[in-house]
């Protein structure tokens, strides 16, 4: 077995970090391909070093391109690498364009495709990520699902249960390992904040930031909220969101404080110490649930329904009044829910399954 891992964004680096660490520890023959889908190569490098995993063996250059050009260029580059390296298995994580391109290249080149975080569904085909998830799952040979909900989604789509492995979510493993390091972060001191006396905001989805009406409504709801609560809202602003705010000529209220994107450990500190998080990120919904921080999702749907069921998260959409009222309600919510994403041993389970598959094929 020779394993090729394809990743391209910070969430992929984070969620695969312990997998990569264990592949090395267990003596697997593996190599990394970083597509550089993410907007900041330097920030990605910081994540590799911070998480103490080796830098990629191959680095592509596909950022700042249309989705079709990005995906097609990754596939073309991966074909050459596969011909050279001759891997037998290919691992992808999540629902990014890099993961989709990896799955397509692996499938076409007759590799065994392994999808980590398979089976997530928002049931909203207008989300590019939803289309990616479905395609990746149906191209994959082995599907590692985080919850029974994800497993049921795949079974309902006709995927053979023998290809599905319920392992939990690797983000639990990563948070358990790195919380002590995040405690050393000077995030609070740097921005003169006190624990539980600020709200954290993240918005990056195209459906929100590229739509003037939706982003304006979100900002209006947050303005009313910050004035009512008398709390600042800290916003590590995605470059795409910053660009749209400027082009739409939206003036941010004084209590909404845009800051530069944070490294992994500072962001964990920002999440853990916030009173509440408002986000359109699926990964942040998971992290808040695990960290026992209430979450408001600025979307009309979620591919993490487990967070709704356990009541760590509520969907608010982008209506200003709904954002205001739901957040007020959530502020008084007790943080006593159970984490539905596993026990922190997901990465080890995946490695054990890969070892078993390797023994069966040897």
Do residues 119 and 32 lie in contact, with contact meaning Cβ atoms separated by under 8 Å? no
The answer to whether residue 123 is catalytic is no
Q: Which residues pair with 58 in a beta bridge?
A: 33
Query: Cα separation of 325 and 97, whole Å?
Result: 35
Asked if the domains at 2-169+342-361 and 180-331 fall in one CATH topology, the answer is: yes
pTM over 0.85, yes/no: yes
Query: Cα separation of 108 and 139, whole Å?
Result: 9
For residue 162, give the DSSP letter: G
Query: Cα separation of 191 and 37, whole Å?
Result: 30
For residue 48, give the DSSP letter: H
Does residue 44 register a pLDDT over 70? Answer: no
Domain ranges of the chain: 2-169+342-361, 180-331
Q: How many residues does the chain have?
A: 362
Do residues 82 and 74 lie in contact, with contact meaning Cβ atoms separated by under 8 Å? no
Does residue 242 register a pLDDT over 80? Answer: yes
Measured from the Cβ of residue 106, the count of other Cβ atoms closer than 10 Å reads 28
Query: Cα separation of 66 and 131, whole Å?
Result: 16
Mean pLDDT of 317-336: 91
**3-class secondary structure, 311:** coil
Task: Please tell me the predicted confidence (pLDDT) of residue 64.
Answer: 66
From 254, 253, 278, 269, select the one nearest 202 (Cα to Cα). Answer: 278
Tell me the pLDDT tens digit for each residue of 153-176.
999 999 999 999 999 999 999 999
Does residue 339 register a pLDDT over 80? Answer: yes
Tell me the pLDDT tens digit for each residue of 2-11.
999 999 988 8
Task: Please tell me the predicted confidence (pLDDT) of residue 238.
Answer: 83
From 307, 266, 311, 265, select the one nearest 283 (Cα to Cα). Answer: 307
Confidence of residue 41 (pLDDT cuts 50, 70, 90): low
Regarding predicted confidence, which is higher, 138 or 36?
A: 138
Tell me the pLDDT tens digit for each residue of 97-129.
999 999 999 999 999 999 999 999 999 998 999
Does residue 43 register a pLDDT over 60? Answer: no
Tell me the pLDDT tens digit for each residue of 208-222.
999 999 999 999 999
Catalytic member of 115, 204, 238, 333: 204
Do residues 193 and 273 lie in contact, with contact meaning Cβ atoms separated by under 8 Å? yes
Task: Please tell me the predicted confidence (pLDDT) of residue 30.
Answer: 97
For domain 2-169+342-361, which architecture applies?
3-Layer(aba) Sandwich (3.40)
Do residues 139 and 112 lie in contact, with contact meaning Cβ atoms separated by under 8 Å? no
Q: Which residues pair with 254 in a beta bridge?
A: none
Q: Which residue has the tokens 């599905």?
A: 164
CATH T-level assignment (fold) for domain 180-331: Rossmann fold (3.40.50)
Tokens of 24: 């090395």
Tokens of 272: 């853990």
Q: Which residues pair with 142 in a beta bridge?
A: 114
């Amino acid at each position: 077995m020779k394993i090729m891992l394809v990743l391209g964004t910070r969430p992929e680096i984070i969620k695969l970090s312990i997998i990569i660490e264990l592949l090395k520890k267990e003596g697997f023959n593996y190599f990394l391909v970083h597509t550089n889908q993410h907007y900041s190569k330097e920030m990605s490098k910081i994540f590799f070093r911070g998480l103490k995993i080796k830098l990629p063996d191959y680095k592509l250059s596909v950022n700042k391109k249309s989705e079709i050009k990005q995906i097609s260029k990754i596939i073309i580059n991966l074909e050459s690498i596969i011909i050279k390296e001759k891997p037998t298995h290919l691992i992808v994580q999540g629902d990014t364009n890099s993961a989709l391109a990896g799955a397509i290249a692996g499938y076409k080149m007759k590799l065994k495709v392994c999808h980590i975080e398979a089976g997530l569904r928002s049931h909203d085909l207008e989300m590019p990520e939803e289309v990616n998830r479905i395609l990746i799952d149906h191209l994959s040979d082995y599907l590692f699902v985080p919850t029974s909900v994800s497993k049921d989604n795949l079974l309902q789509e006709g995927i053979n249960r023998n290809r599905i492995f319920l392992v939990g979510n690797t983000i639990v493993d990563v948070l358990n390992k790195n919380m002590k390091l995040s405690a050393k972060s000077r995030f609070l001191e740097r921005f003169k904040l006190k624990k539980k006396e600020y709200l954290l905001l993240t918005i990056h989805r195209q459906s929100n930031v590229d739509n003037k009406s939706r982003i304006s409504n979100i900002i209006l709801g947050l303005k009313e909220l910050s004035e009512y609560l008398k709390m600042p809202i800290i916003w590590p602003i995605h470059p795409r969101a910053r660009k749209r705010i400027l082009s739409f000529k939206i003036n941010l209220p004084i209590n909404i404080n845009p800051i530069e994107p944070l490294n992994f450990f500072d962001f964990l500190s920002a999440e853990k110490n916030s009173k509440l998080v408002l986000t359109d990120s699926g990964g942040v919904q998971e992290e808040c649930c695990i960290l026992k921080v209430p979450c408001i999702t600025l979307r009309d749907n979620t591919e993490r329904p487990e967070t709704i069921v356990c009541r760590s998260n509520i969907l608010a959409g982008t209506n200003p009044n709904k954002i205001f009222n739901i957040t007020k309600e959530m502020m008084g919510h007790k943080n006593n829910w159970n984490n539905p994403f596993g026990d922190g041993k997901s990465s080890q389970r995946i490695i054990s399954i890969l070892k078993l598959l390797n023994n069966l094929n040897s």
